[in-house]
Amino acid sequence: MQVGVPFQSFRECIDPNLKVLVRIDINVPINVKEGVILDDYRIEAHAATISKLAKSGMSVVVIAHQGRPGDDEFTSLGIHWRYLEKYAGMRVSFIEDVMGPAAQGAIRNLGPGEVLLLDNVRFVSEEVIERSPQLQSNTFLVRRLAPLFDVFVMDAFATAHRSQPSIVGFPLVLPSCAGLVLEKELNAMNVFSSSRRESIVLAGGAKVPDTIKAISKLLANEAAGKILVGGLVGVIFIAAKYGANGWLRKYLEESGFGGLVNDARLLLDKYGDSVAVPTDVGVEVHGDRVDVDARKIDAPVMDIGPATMDAYSSYVRGAEVAVLTGPMGVTEKKQFAEGTEAVFKAMVDDAKFTIIGGGHTIMSARKLGYIEKIKHVSTGGRAFLQFLVGEELPALQALAESKRRFWK
């Protein structure tokens, strides 16, 4: 766990005489055709950092991304800036440029207390290439923008696992600090890391390879007392524990997840009762929910079943820390949100400290009315998983290096 990595705190970057570049992560679910953001939690979270800096009298320039080249959600940040204005409670300017003459001119002319949002940083081809921080600090993006600023604030925890110019390049050439979101993430992970064997991790969702890898490391590091699997991750473990026939066999063949079943089986063989697998599931039959034994699946699995809900809820009760990394089912359909709602209820009622992470998990918590009751809502997806299992995050290493270079 990297919680002890030394870098400058947010308050140490605040100075009304300075111009600050802030990297945030407002990469959100979006309907590009209709120009509608489907979940704005990340934007709301980062607005506090922007507001604090601007209200201190600093000139604030924001850099962020949306999607990846080739993705349906790869688009300009022209939709995002109004949301940032709303949550920051102040005027935010936006420019359709990242590092060209127009952007540089706007940055130079920015006054104290003013905020400027640059366009999607991934419009710059350098940003989608991962290399060492030293190489990233010599990119055109960093060389053109860094001289215009006094300090850099890294607040984009959700991109902390990336070694890209806007994440690891600027800290090597500018005095840098963590932002409010990043500090909050690290504080929450401190609670998790100090509990270890008294922690319960509910691992669901659809990011099967990443989640199984995370489960393996959590178990190997003895970083959690018990892992409870659900969602598509749970389907893989069901196949590993009970075998796959009928619909389940066909699903594994078509999804390409068949090879992961053996990985799950090896984890069950090695760690036994440390991993709880659903004993029943909710399947969809002609649009309706039908609960069946996990050994007798012959229709699409959409949720954990009632017996599994009860078992998982009992594990959560009294846990020092309960972490949910993905929904237990397809929460977009009301009848299959029951498992996720059950574990949310157990978490907020009976666990001492609660953490959730990942876009779909957050959307589910908001939809089901539990978001305000969770102690810590992580803005990260893959970064959240990597940090949870103690993997090094390039962004934190770059901040630590910045402290060694610039702060006395």
Q: Is 358 annotated as a binding residue?
A: yes
H-helix segments, 243-393? 246-255, 258-271, 306-316, 338-350, 359-368, 382-388
Q: Is 25 annotated as a binding residue?
A: yes
114, with CB counted inside 10 A (0-12, 13-18, 19+), is middle
The CA dihedral of 136, 139, 144, 147, to the nearest 10 degrees, is 40
21 near 179, Cβ under 8 Å? no
Give the C-alpha distances (Å, rounded to integers) separating 195 from 190, 199, 201, 214, 274.
Answer: 9, 6, 12, 18, 16
Token couple for 389: 């299992």
Helical (H) or strand (E) element with 21: strand 19-23
Beta bridge partners of 324: 202, 356
Q: Is 161 annotated as a binding residue?
A: no
* Interaxial angle between packed helices 359-368 and 338-350, expressed in degrees from 0 to 180 and rounded to the nearest 10: 80
Q: Is 80 annotated as a binding residue?
A: no
Q: Is 376 annotated as a binding residue?
A: no
Distance (Å, whole) CA 95 – CA 76: 10
Classified as helix, coil or strand, 196 is helix
Sorted by sequence, the CB contacts under 8 Å of residue 250 that are 6+ apart come out as none
Q: Is 162 annotated as a binding residue?
A: yes
Q: Is 122 annotated as a binding residue?
A: yes
365 near 371, Cβ under 8 Å? yes
Q: Is 350 annotated as a binding residue?
A: no
Token couple for 354: 């609660």
Q: Is 8 annotated as a binding residue?
A: no
Percent helix, strand, coil in the chain, to 5, is 50, 15, 35
Say how many Å lie between the first and final Cα of the chain, rounded.
26
Give the C-alpha distances (Å, rounded to integers) separating 211 from 156, 189, 216, 264, 341.
Answer: 21, 18, 9, 11, 21
Q: Is 27 annotated as a binding residue?
A: yes
Beta bridge partners of 275: 227
Question: CA angle at residue 48 from 43 to 53, to 5 degrees?
Answer: 120
User: Binding site membership for ATP: which residues?
Assistant: 332, 358-361
Q: Which residues are annotated as a binding site?
A: 25-27, 42, 65-68, 122, 162, 332, 358-361
- List, as residue ranges, the binding site for (2R)-3-phosphoglycerate: 42, 122, 162
Per the annotation, binding residues for substrate are 25-27, 42, 65-68, 122, 162
